Amino acid sequence: MRLHRSAIAALTFWTCASVAEPLSQDWVDQARAIGYEAANSNIAYSVVESLTTEVGPRLAGTEAEARARDWAVSELTKLGFDSVTVEPFDVPLWERHIERGRIVAPAEQPLVLVGLGGSASTGEAGVKGAILRVESPDALQALPDGAAEGKIVFVDQVMARTQDGAGYGAAVRKRRETGEQAYRLGAVGALIRSVGTSGHRFAHTGQMKRAGTSDLPVVPTAAVSGADADQLGRLLDRYDSVEVELVLTSEYLPAAQSGNVVAEIRGRTRPDEVVIIGAHLDSWDLGTGALDDGAGVGVVVAAAKALMDAMPEGPDRTLRVVLFGAEEVGLVGAKAYAQKHQADLDKIILAFESDFGAGDIWRLDHGVADEALPLIKSMTAMLSPWGVIPGKPGATGGPDISVLAQAGVPVITPLQNGWDYFDYHHTPDDTLDKLERHSLDQNVGVYAAILSVALREGVSFK
């Protein structure tokens, strides 16, 4: 089914008393029509292509992230949003410089590694130490103070490949905690098996627990590729001692400016009631941030544009697109947004974001009031033409939106298929060629259909 935009725009939108019960068939048909049209717009791919080509990597607090904000303001203004603003905030700026590693004994071999965000510096001379291998963060935490004196800690925990990303939640703790725990143990450095699922020889970066501060004591810490982690493991199985050299030079610079880019389509009858869709504008500095999170930027911008075209007179409620800054280094933009808008959080009807690549959406998870569960069930059925099945409670809405969820804002998570997402996550391989256009378009259709319901006056998720 495909309708011309003129037909979509002619659809009648009406209001009723508070709606938390199943949707009428007319509403379902209209939502699907808008979704089909949105999925054929090709705007999402154009947005991602432009962002990753014209800006490229966008590390929080850098000049590149500032260029990304300028790019976003220009693009959103051209698309015709009623308002486009930047809400600035400061973020500590961490930058990597020299990064290399090698096995020095029993036989010299290079290591493919990358420093973790917030890592301390070895200085240009580097550090050397025998490897102390543990299998998990729990095993590391169980060691007594000073147990790794003069050594290099190696947390060799494999990440499970899952469709819903649950493997990441289980594995990411080692990235956050190892540097701090290694400092407690007296180590001179630390390595982790990359938080990723790739079979390629790439290392995956990511933020340590030291988010936003240089005060938490950590040792120089890097992630090694899965292949190099395997190599270290084989050597440790064969020899009593394996010695490694690390050179990781990095620095914290004075606080730099970041910011959230906020665009709105003003509500016609209930402008103070807001539906938020978000993505994050920054990325790590290795690839071009196409999957994480250029794809999310493309999805939410294209879905919002579809609603703009479908309802030229304006939706009942205000649709707000938030492109968060400084997500990768600790949800800094999300926290700044929640603080700035604290007095108006109760006016947010629903919030959700796209930050899990560009795989097909296959499940609708929810974090809404019990009274709204019939509505969620009906919305899920509405999305069945796109292959969406009923999801689970306890959704956070996504990383940035989770800050709003913690404040009581109703959220949903249109969950994407993340089976291969962590092959590319936080690596040099996160580039535009990894996007599948048909999946990106499916995401846009689902988001637009959901928005066409959530933006109606009277629909309640509370």
Residues lower than pLDDT 50 in the chain:
1-17, 211-212
pTM above 0.85, yes or no: yes
CA angle centred on 290, ends 348 and 435, rounded to 5° = 105
Inter-residue long-range contacts of 64-72, CB under 8 Å, 24+ positions, other chains counted: 65/258, 65/281, 65/282, 65/325, 65/326, 66/257, 68/281, 68/282, 69/259, 69/261, 69/281, 69/325, 72/261, 72/281, 72/297, 72/323
- C-alpha–C-alpha distance, residues 451 and 454, integer Å: 5
Neighbours of 157 (CB within 10 A): 20
Secondary structure (DSSP) of 37-68: HHHTS-HHHHHHHHHHHHT----TTSHHHHHH
- C-alpha–C-alpha distance, residues 316 and 409, integer Å: 19
Tokens 């959704």 belong to which residue? 395
pLDDT at position 19, please? 62
pLDDT at position 21, please? 73
pLDDT at position 213, please? 52
pLDDT at position 380, please? 98
Tokens in use for 75? 């693009």
Phi, psi dihedral angles at 439 (to 5 degrees):
-70, -40
pLDDT at position 210, please? 60
pLDDT at position 216, please? 76
pLDDT at position 417, please? 98
Tens of pLDDT along 374-395? Answer: 999 999 999 999 999 999 999 9
Rg of the chain taking only CA atoms, in angstroms: 23
- C-alpha–C-alpha distance, residues 264 and 266, integer Å: 6
- C-alpha–C-alpha distance, residues 33 and 350, integer Å: 22
- CA quadruple 259, 62, 335, 114: dihedral, nearest 10: 150
Tokens 């096995």 belong to which residue? 103
Tens of pLDDT along 404-434? Answer: 999 999 999 999 999 999 999 999 999 999 9
Identify the CA nearest to 277 among candidates 182, 408, 413: 413
